[in-house]
């Protein structure tokens, strides 16, 4: 017989919402198990039971904001470091891309907004912020298979063996890296397509084969591209866009 699980954990596992959202919905009486309303936090249910949510929860979820930023160098993507600003500081009405659509800017979009993934201080390009816990898990979860594409300017010599290693065969922190797609775009620029996101992964990969990274720009996550979004500006994820 299956072991009971906390309802909020099971909801997160099924991709219905984040655990934080699940707890909020449960406390509001918006969650039903086999048709019965559950409003007690910590309730455990069986993994095979049916879970449905109220229309109010669906409406709240549809209003969660996801924002795409073209992060410049010098901003940290997560917690601020001494002497540097977090990238979220760029999410203001004045920095919104004028050619983009979506709702009028309001400070409510900053509540619960968090970066879904990292982009280190020396790198620039596409950085995603979201209020949607489901999307954050899709982008950053251990089982995420979303591609992330980078343009990388390098200095140094790279022979065919080194290129083969970049594609598959390197390890970081004693853990093998997943296969990557790596190709030359021109004499000093490589394209990397990764399906994982270790800390400073591309810089460390290049260092391992004798290359120095001079510039790094993320241009795509899944099916969403940076496109013409100007550096330092942001836009909402469009309703017809999916990662």
- Return the domain boundaries, the chain: 5-62, 66-142+224-236, 148-221
Helices 160-167 + 201-208 axis angle, to 10: 150
Identical topology for domains 66-142+224-236 and 148-221:
yes
- Among 168, 171, 166, residue whose Cα is nearest residue 156: 166
Instruction: Please tell me the CATH superfamily of domain 148-221, with its number.
Output: Alpha-L RNA-binding motif (3.30.70.1560)
Cα dihedral 50, 54, 60, 62 sign: positive
CA distance 237 to 243: 10
pLDDT score recorded for residue 229: 97
Query: Which of 19-23, 56-60, 113-117: highest mean pLDDT?
Result: 113-117
How does the average pLDDT of the chain come out, rounded? Answer: 91
Compute the distance between CA of residue 17 and CA of residue 22 in angstroms, rounded to an integer. Answer: 6
Note the pLDDT of residue 106.
Answer: 86
pLDDT at 234: 97
| Fold observed for domain 66-142+224-236 | Alpha-Beta Plaits (3.30.70)
Specify the pTM.
0.81
Q: CA 225, 13, 236 angle in degrees (round to 5)?
A: 25
- Band (pLDDT 50/70/90 cuts) for residue 1 is low
Evaluate if residue 89 carries a pLDDT over 90.
yes
Q: 175, 174, 165: which is closest to 205 by C-alpha?
A: 165
Residues with a known catalytic role: 120
Going by pLDDT thresholds of 50, 70 and 90, the confidence category of residue 82 is confident
> Domain 5-62 - what CATH class?
alpha beta
Give pLDDT tens digits for 199-239.
899 999 999 999 999 999 999 999 999 999 999 999 999 98
**pLDDT at residue 80 in the model:** 64
Per-residue pLDDT, 81: 67
Q: What is the pLDDT of residue 178?
A: 94
Sort residue 56 into left (φ over 0), alpha (ψ -120 to 50) or beta.
alpha
């Amino acid at each position: 017989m299956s072991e009971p699980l906390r309802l909020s954990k099971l909801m997160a596992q099924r991709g219905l919402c984040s655990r934080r959202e699940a707890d909020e919905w449960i406390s509001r009486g918006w969650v039903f198990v086999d048709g019965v309303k559950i409003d007690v936090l910590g309730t455990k249910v069986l993994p095979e039971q049916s879970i449905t949510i109220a229309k109010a929860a669906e409406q709240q979820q549809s209003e969660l904001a996801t924002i795409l930023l073209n992060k410049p160098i010098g901003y940290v993507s997560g917690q601020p470091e001494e002497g540097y600003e977090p990238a979220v500081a760029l999410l203001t009405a004045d920095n919104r891309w004028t050619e983009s659509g979506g709702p009028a800017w309001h400070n409510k979009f900053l509540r619960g907004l968090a970066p879904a993934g990292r982009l280190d201080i020396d790198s620039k390009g596409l950085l995603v912020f979201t209020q949607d816990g489901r999307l954050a898990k899709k982008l950053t979860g251990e089982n995420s298979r979303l591609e992330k594409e980078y343009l990388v300017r390098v200095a140094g010599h790279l022979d065919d063996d080194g290129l083969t290693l970049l594609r598959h065969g390197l390890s970081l922190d004693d853990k093998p890296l997943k296969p990557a797609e790596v190709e030359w775009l021109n004499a000093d620029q490589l394209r990397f397509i990764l399906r994982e996101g270790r800390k400073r992964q591309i810089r460390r990969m290049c260092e391992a084969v004798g290359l120095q990274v001079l510039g790094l720009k993320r241009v795509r996550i899944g099916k969403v591209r940076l496109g013409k979004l100007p550096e330092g500006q942001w836009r909402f994820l469009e309703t017809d866009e999916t990662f």
